C-alpha cells in the first residue's frame, strides 16, 4: 500500500538498543527483561509487571492464574479482537458476549448486568481502540458479585481513567506490543498485577511452570513457553522512553483527521476527547452512514484500496463468527456498528498531506455510493 494501515516507529536509538543486546551473552531471561518489567510497572503504576510473548498470552495466563476453568462464564465484548474470546475458550470456560455503548464502543455497566448469571466468574473489560472504559461502576459490579476483572489494555498503553493509567485498576491489566501498537517489541506483551501470588504464578507459567524456588529443570506448575526475548525487551525499553512523544504525535494525527473529516458529514468521527481520562490513539476508526451495510463498506474499502490506501473493517463481531455461533445472543448495538466501522491509515509518521488525501478519497467514495443508493442515503443523518 502507498499509504499503509499502520507502520511501526523505529528510531536509530531503538536499533542501537537491539544491537547492543546481540553483543552480550544474554538473549533470554536476562537483565533487559528485568529492566523492562520494572520500567513498565513504574509507568503504569502497578507493583508487578511480567513480560510475555504476546498480549494473547497475557489474557490466557491471567485467566489461568485467577483460577478460571471448566464451565465458568466470563463476560466479554463481541466487538473486540478475537483473542479475548479464544483465551476464555482455551480455559474450557464459556465466553458470554455483552453489548457495547454506541459512542465509546466499550462494555457498559448495564450490558454487563444483562450478561450476569450465577456462573459468572470474571469480566474482561476491553479499552476499545484506546478509549478508556468507564471502570468505576464496572468495578463496583465486580465487588458486589465477587467477580475478577481483567483489563484488556492491549490497545490502550498510556490511556488514563480518572488520572490513573488503565490496566492498573483491575485484578490484572494486559498490554500488547504488536507492531501496530503505539510502542512495539515486534511480538510481545505485558501483564501488570497487584497481588504478589498472582504475579509469581504468571511469572512461573510463562517459563514452563518453573517457580522461583525451583532448580533449572524443576517445574512446579504445568506452564508454557511464553517468554519475551532480550532483544524484544531492549526494543520495548527504548520505545517506552519515548512514549510521551509517541502518544503526543498520535494524538496530533487523530486531531488532524478529526478536523479534515468535518467536510464530510456522512462520515461519523470517533470521539476526540474522553471526559473521564485520556485516549491512547491506537487507531482512527470512523463509521459510515447508518443506512450503509456491510456490502457498502466493502465497496468503500475496494475504492480506497485501488488508490493504494490501506483500510480495514474493525471489528467483525466475534459472536457471529463460525466458532462462536453456539454462544451467540442478540447484540443490536454491536451488530449495527460493526457493519459500518472502518479503520483508516494511522501511525506516528503519517504526513498531513496523506491524511487529507485519505479523507478526500474516503469522502468521495462514500458520496459516490450514497448517490447510487438514492435519497435515503444521501440525506442520512450520521446518528446511531
Instruction: Please tell me the predicted confidence (pLDDT) of residue 14.
Output: 98
Tell me how crowded residue 294 is: count the other CB atoms within 10 A of its CB: 11
Asked whether the domain spanning 244-378 has the same topology as the one spanning 12-241, the reply is no
Query: What DSSP character marks residue 304?
Result: H
pLDDT tens digits for range 333-356: 999 999 999 999 999 999 999 999
Q: pLDDT band at residue 186, thresholds of 50, 70 and 90?
A: very high
- Compute the distance between CA of residue 254 and CA of residue 278 in angstroms, rounded to an integer: 13
184 Cβ neighbours under 8 A, 6+ residues apart: 8, 10, 177, 178, 235, 236, 239
Q: How far is CA 136 from CA 109, 250, 262, in A?
A: 9, 27, 33
Q: What is the residue-wise DSSP string for 313-342?
A: -----GGGSGGGGGG----HHHHHHHTTEE
Mean predicted confidence (pLDDT) in 190-201 = 98
- Compute the distance between CA of residue 222 and CA of residue 234 in angstroms, rounded to an integer: 28
- Compute the distance between CA of residue 121 and CA of residue 148 in angstroms, rounded to an integer: 6
- Compute the distance between CA of residue 86 and CA of residue 84 in angstroms, rounded to an integer: 6
Instruction: Please tell me the predicted confidence (pLDDT) of residue 380.
Output: 43
Instruction: Please tell me the predicted confidence (pLDDT) of residue 328.
Output: 83
Q: Of 76, 61, 128, 110, nearest to 327 (Cα)?
A: 76
Instruction: Give the global pTM.
Output: 0.95
By DSSP bridging, strand 94-98 and strand 73-77 are: parallel
Residue appearing with cell numbers 476464555: 88
pLDDT tens digits for range 45-102: 999 999 999 999 999 999 999 999 999 999 999 999 999 999 999 999 999 999 999 9
Q: Are 105 and 133 in contact (CB under 8 A)?
A: no
13's grid cell:
536509538
Looking at the chain, the whole-number percentage of residues with pLDDT higher than 70 is 97
CA 356 to chain CA centroid, Å, is 26
Query: What DSSP character marks residue 157?
Result: T
Compute φ and ψ for 349, nearest 5 degrees: -90, 5
- Compute the distance between CA of residue 256 and CA of residue 349 in angstroms, rounded to an integer: 13
- Compute the distance between CA of residue 203 and CA of residue 15 in angstroms, rounded to an integer: 28
Q: According to CATH, what is the number of the domain 244-378?
A: 3.90.1150.10
Query: Quick check: bond before 24 cis, omega within 30?
Result: no
Looking at the chain, the whole-number percentage of residues with pLDDT higher than 90 is 94
Instruction: Please tell me the predicted confidence (pLDDT) of residue 383.
Output: 35
Looking at per-residue confidence, does 373 or 265 come out higher?
265
Give burial (CB, 10 Å; 0-12/13-18/19+) of 160.
Answer: middle
Domain boundaries of the chain, sorted by first residue: 12-241, 244-378
Instruction: Please tell me the predicted confidence (pLDDT) of residue 375.
Output: 66
pLDDT tens digits for range 98-156: 999 999 999 999 999 999 999 999 999 999 999 999 999 999 999 999 999 999 999 99
Residue 378 has pLDDT above 60, yes or no: no
Instruction: Please tell me the predicted confidence (pLDDT) of residue 384.
Output: 35
30's grid cell:
536476562
Q: Are 81 and 137 in contact (CB under 8 A)?
A: no
Q: Is 12-241 in CATH node 3.40.50.300?
A: no
Helix or strand holding residue 109 (H, E): helix 109-115
Q: Are 157 and 25 in contact (CB under 8 A)?
A: no
Active site residues: 181
Provide the strand spans (E) within 67-218.
73-77, 94-98, 120-126, 148-152, 160-161, 164-165, 172-176, 189-193
Mean predicted confidence (pLDDT) in 312-316 = 95
pLDDT tens digits for range 219-248: 999 999 999 999 999 999 999 999 999 999
Instruction: Please tell me the predicted confidence (pLDDT) of residue 377.
Output: 57
Amino acid at each position: 500500500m502507498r499509504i499503509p494501515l499502520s507502520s511501526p516507529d523505529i528510531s536509530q536509538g531503538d536499533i542501537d538498543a537491539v544491537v547492543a543486546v546481540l553483543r552480550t551473552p544474554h538473549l533470554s531471561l536476562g537483565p533487559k527483561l528485568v529492566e523492562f518489567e520494572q520500567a513498565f510497572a513504574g509507568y503504569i503504576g502497578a507493583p508487578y509487571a511480567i513480560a510475555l510473548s504476546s498480549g494473547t498470552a497475557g489474557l490466557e495466563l491471567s485467566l489461568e492464574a485467577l483460577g478460571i476453568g471448566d464451565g465458568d462464564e466470563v463476560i466479554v465484548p463481541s466487538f473486540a479482537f478475537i483473542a479475548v474470546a479464544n483465551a476464555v475458550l482455551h480455559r474450557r470456560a464459556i465466553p458470554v458476549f455483552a453489548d457495547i455503548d454506541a459512542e465509546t464502543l466499550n462494555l457498559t455497566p448495564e450490558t454487563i448486568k444483562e450478561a450476569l448469571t450465577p456462573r459468572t466468574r470474571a469480566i474482561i473489560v476491553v479499552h476499545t481502540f484506546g478509549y478508556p472504559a468507564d471502570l468505576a461502576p464496572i468495578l463496583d459490579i465486580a465487588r458486589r458479585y465477587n467477580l475478577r476483572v481483567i483489563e484488556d489494555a492491549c490497545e490502550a498503553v498510556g490511556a488514563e481513567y480518572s488520572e490513573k493509567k488503565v490496566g492498573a485498576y483491575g485484578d490484572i491489566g494486559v498490554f500488547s506490543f504488536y507492531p501496530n501498537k503505539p510502542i512495539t517489541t515486534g511480538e510481545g506483551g505485558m501483564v501488570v498485577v497487584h497481588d504478589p501470588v498472582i504475579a509469581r504464578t504468571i511469572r512461573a507459567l510463562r517459563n514452563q511452570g518453573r517457580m522461583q524456588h525451583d532448580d533449572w529443570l524443576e517445574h512446579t506448575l504445568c506452564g508454557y513457553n511464553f517468554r519475551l526475548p532480550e532483544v524484544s525487551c531492549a526494543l520495548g525499553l527504548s520505545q517506552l522512553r519515548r512514549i510521551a512523544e509517541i502518544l503526543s504525535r498520535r494524538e496530533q494525527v487523530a486531531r488532524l483527521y478529526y478536523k479534515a473529516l468535518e467536510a464530510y458529514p456522512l462520515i461519523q468521527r470517533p470521539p476526540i476527547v474522553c471526559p473521564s481520562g485520556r485516549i491512547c490513539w491506537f487507531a482512527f476508526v470512523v463509521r459510515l452512514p447508518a443506512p450503509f451495510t456491510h456490502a457498502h463498506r466493502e465497496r468503500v474499502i475496494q475504492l480506497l484500496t485501488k488508490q493504494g490506501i490501506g483500510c480495514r473493517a474493525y471489528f467483525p463481531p466475534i459472536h457471529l463468527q463460525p466458532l462462536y455461533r453456539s454462544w451467540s445472543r442478540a447484540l443490536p448495538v454491536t451488530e449495527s456498528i460493526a457493519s459500518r466501522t472502518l479503520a483508516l491509515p494511522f501511525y506516528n509518521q503519517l504526513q498531513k498531506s496523506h491524511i487529507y488525501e485519505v479523507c478526500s478519497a474516503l469522502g468521495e467514495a462514500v458520496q459516490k455510493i450514497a448517490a447510487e443508493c438514492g435519497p435515503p442515503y444521501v440525506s442520512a443523518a450520521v446518528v446511531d
